[in-house]
Amino acid sequence: MRDILIVMLGGAIGTFYRYILNNYFANLFAVSIGYGTAIANISGSFFIGLIYGIAENNSFNPSLKLFIIVGLLGGFTTFSSFALETINFIRDGAVKKAILYFIFNNFVGIGMAYLGILTSKLF
């Protein structure tokens, strides 16, 4: 039960920050075309890699790891939103945009997770 509460708390905080990020970029560009989601996915991928790498190489509190990786970053990253936005681009006839969005999020996200793991070796 304790682990569930830890994940729920982290998820609520991560989701809150994703909401703020999405609103910020929607207001900044006066249109919501997925900038906030992309930034959440890319930065979240980096930090998941970073925290995972640090946790693997050091003594790391398992509850804190659960809170950050599963809860906070799991709530912050937005694969379901990413999937829906990609489908909406296709539905709206913006197939090239959908393909670029898909490639960017997946390849850069995976690259950032790997960069996070490499960065963790500095700690």
Express each pLDDT in 59-106 by its tens digit: 889 999 999 999 999 999 978 778 888 998 999 999 999 999 999 999
Secondary structure (H, E, C), the chain: CHHHHHHHHHHHHHHHHHHHHHHHHHHHHCCCCCHHHHHHHHHHHHHHHHHHHHHHHCCCCHHHHHHHHHHHHHHHCCHHHHHHHHHHHHHCCCHHHHHHHHHHHHHHHHHHHHHHHHHHCCC
Number of domains in the chain: 1
pLDDT on residue 109: 92
For 48-57, what is each residue's pLDDT tens digit?
999 989 988 8
The domain containing residue 94 runs over which residues? 2-120
**Is the overall model pTM greater than 0.85, yes or no?**
no
